[in-house]
Amino acid sequence: MAVQRIISVAQGHICRVSMTIDRDIADDQRRSQLPATPAPKKRVQDRGLATKQRILDEALQQFSRSGFDAVGVRDIAEAAGVQHGLIKYHFGTKDNLWREAVRQLFQRATQILQVPPEEENLSTEEATEKALRRYVRYCADHPEHARLMVQESFRDNERLEWASRKFIRPSHDDILPRWQDLIGKGVAPNIDPVLMLYAMTGAAQTLFSIAAEAKHSHGIDALSEEVIQQYSDVIVTLFMPGLMSAHI
C-alpha cells in the first residue's frame, strides 16, 4: 500500500491544491461580483445530475461506514449502479468525491438544525433545550455525519483540515456565544464552553454512531424511537441541569 498511498496522497495534494485554488478564485469572484473565467458553460443534463446525486449518496454512506481509504470507487459505483469510470467523469478524483459529499452533508445539516420560525421568540433556555433535542434527533437520524467526521479526525490530514476550516469552525463559532449566554444565566454548568461543546457532541453522537456495539453489548436498539426519546432527556438533564430550577 505504501507507494500507492503516497501517490494517492500526492495526487490528493495536487487535486486539493488546484481545487482549493479554483474554489478560492470562485469565492473571490463571487465576492467581487466578477463573472467567472469565460465559463466554458457546460450544459449539465438532468440525467447526469441525478446519477451524480446517486453517487454522492452512496459515497456518503460508504465513506462514513468504512473510512476514506477502505472504500473503493468501484464499491461506490456498484452501489450506485454505474461504472466506476463515471466517478472520474463527475468528480475527477476520489478525494474530490469525498469533499463534495461532505459539503452536501453539512449543507443538509445546517438546514435541519436551523432554528424554525416558531421557536424564534422563545426564551434562551427553552430555545436551547429545543436545539439540544433537535441535535440529538439529528445524530440519531443521520449517524453517518458523526461517523464520517470522527473517522477523518482520528488521523490528521488535508481533508480534515479542509472540513474543519470550511464547516466545523464556522458552526462552532455560531454555537459557542449562545452557550456562554446560558452559563451567565446559570442554566448551563460554568465550564469552558469549548470543552463543554466537545463533551456534549461526544455524548450526543456516540451512542447512535456505535449503535451496532450497543446492540451487541446490551441488546438495545439505539435507533428506536423509544431510546432516542430517552436519550434526548439524558442529554438535556446532563447539559442543562439548571433547566428545572430555572423554570420553577
Largest separation between any pair of C-alpha atoms in the chain: 64
Site for a second copy in 191-220 (CB under 8 A): 191-192, 194-196, 198-207, 209-218, 220
Give how far Cα 196 sits from Cα of 7, 57, 170, Å: 40, 32, 17
Site for a second copy in 45-74 (CB under 8 A): 64-72, 74
Residue 190 CB neighbour total at 10 angstroms: 9
* Candidate residues 54, 108, 133, 172; the one interacting with a second copy per rule CB under 8 A: 172
Written as nine digits, the cell of 23 is 474554489
Distance CA 68, CA 59 (A): 9
* Candidate residues 43, 177, 225, 226; the one interacting with DNA per rule CB under 7 A: 43
8 Å CB contact between 47 and 53 = no
Site for DNA in 3-32 (CB under 7 A): 3-8, 11, 15
Q: Which region among 40-48, 189-197, 226-234, 238-246 touches DNA (by CB under 7 A)?
A: 40-48
* Candidate residues 23, 88, 155, 185; the one interacting with a second copy per rule CB under 8 A: 155
Distance CA 216, CA 236 (A): 26
Asked if 94 interacts with DNA (CB under 7 A), we say yes
Written as nine digits, the cell of 57 is 449518496
Question: From the list DNA, a second copy, none, which binds 248 (C-beta under 5 to 8 Å, kind-based)?
Answer: none
Question: From the list DNA, a second copy, none, which binds 94 (C-beta under 5 to 8 Å, kind-based)?
Answer: DNA
Distance CA 237, CA 137 (A): 16
Cell 479526525, residue?
Answer: 153
Q: How many helices (H) and strands (E) does the chain have?
A: 13, 0
Q: Which region among 29-37, 65-73, 177-185, 227-235 touches DNA (by CB under 7 A)?
A: 65-73
Distance CA 96, CA 45 (A): 21
Cβ-based neighbours of 18, under 8 Å, separated by 6 or more: none
Asked if 96 interacts with a second copy (CB under 8 A), we say no
Binding site residues, DNA, CB under 7 A: 1-8, 11, 15, 42-52, 71-75, 82-90, 92-95
Binding site residues, a second copy, CB under 8 A: 1-2, 64-72, 74-75, 78, 147, 149-156, 160-161, 164-165, 168-169, 172, 189, 191-192, 194-196, 198-207, 209-218, 220, 227, 230-231, 233-235, 237-239, 241
